[in-house]
Amino acid sequence: MMAFLNKYGGQLASKTFEHFYISMIALLIAIIIAVPLGILLSKHKKVANVVLTVAGVLQTIPTLAVLAVMIPIFGVGKLPAIVALFIYVLLPILNNTVIGVQNIDKNIKQAGASMGMTQFQLMKDVELPLALPLILGGIRLSSVYVISWATLASYVGAGGLGDFVFNGLNLYDPMMIVSAAILVTLLALIVDFILSLVEKWAVPKGLKVTK
């Protein structure tokens, strides 16, 4: 084990950072797009159903197939991997945002409107805070997904810990595979733990979406 770490320790560290970078960029883009879009779609149930259905269908496509489709469009490297991963983690965040806003008691919205709040103020000061627990739940779920799926990004030359997994398979080296799998798992657990702390900090104790 020590001999393996002495030989590959530096590479494991760099590949772990690369894996984290690819995953978090895809997750961040998904959050920036999915949360505002989810709030907007929550106002139009029929459109929301169509968009969520399309997003759900896209998520059923095998990851390798999506990565393969990205190559003719974006070439090889980190960009096609980030785009593919973004597509995969969009649905949980989008779905939770739509549900979170739609489940807010209408009386609360009407009370805000009767106080003279604009639509933007209602969204910022009422809808978003009350929907936050569900939104953050979707983000936490997506963070675990994106870190695990980012392993396949190695197929399009994006790097990450997937390089160790596939090199281990090619070289029949179980230690390479196991070490990468352990690091991917640890990375997912650490990110989920950090997001759980963010959730505790951002969501007031006892706050729930009124159904």
Check which CATH number belongs to the domain holding 66 and give it.
1.10.3720.10
Query: What per-residue confidence (pLDDT) applies to 211?
Result: 38
Count of domains forming the chain: 1
Q: Is residue 103 part of a domain?
A: yes
Residue 209's pLDDT is: 42
CA dist 152 and 155 (Å) reads 6
pLDDT of residue 210: 40
The encoded tokens of residue 158 equal 């994006």
Quick check: 72 pLDDT over 80? yes
Q: Is 134 exposed, middle or buried (0-12, 13-18, 19+ CB in 10 A)?
A: buried
138 inside domain: yes
Give per-residue pLDDT as tens, 48-65. Answer: 888 888 888 877 888 778
Range of the domain at 152: 8-202
Residue among 62, 67, 68, 59 at smallest CA distance from 22: 67
- For residue 175, tell me if it sits in a domain: yes
More confident residue, 211 or 95: 95
- Residue 13 belongs to some domain of the structure: yes
For residue 208, being part of any structural domain is answered with: no
Residue range 110-169, pLDDT digits in tens: 787 788 777 777 777 777 888 888 899 999 999 999 999 999 888 888 888 999 888 888
Residue 2 lies in a domain: no
| DSSP string covering 116-167 | T--HHHHIIIIIHHHHHHHHHHHHHHHHHHHHHHGGGGGGGT--STHHHHHH
Query: Considering the domain boundaries, does residue 177 fall inside one?
Result: yes
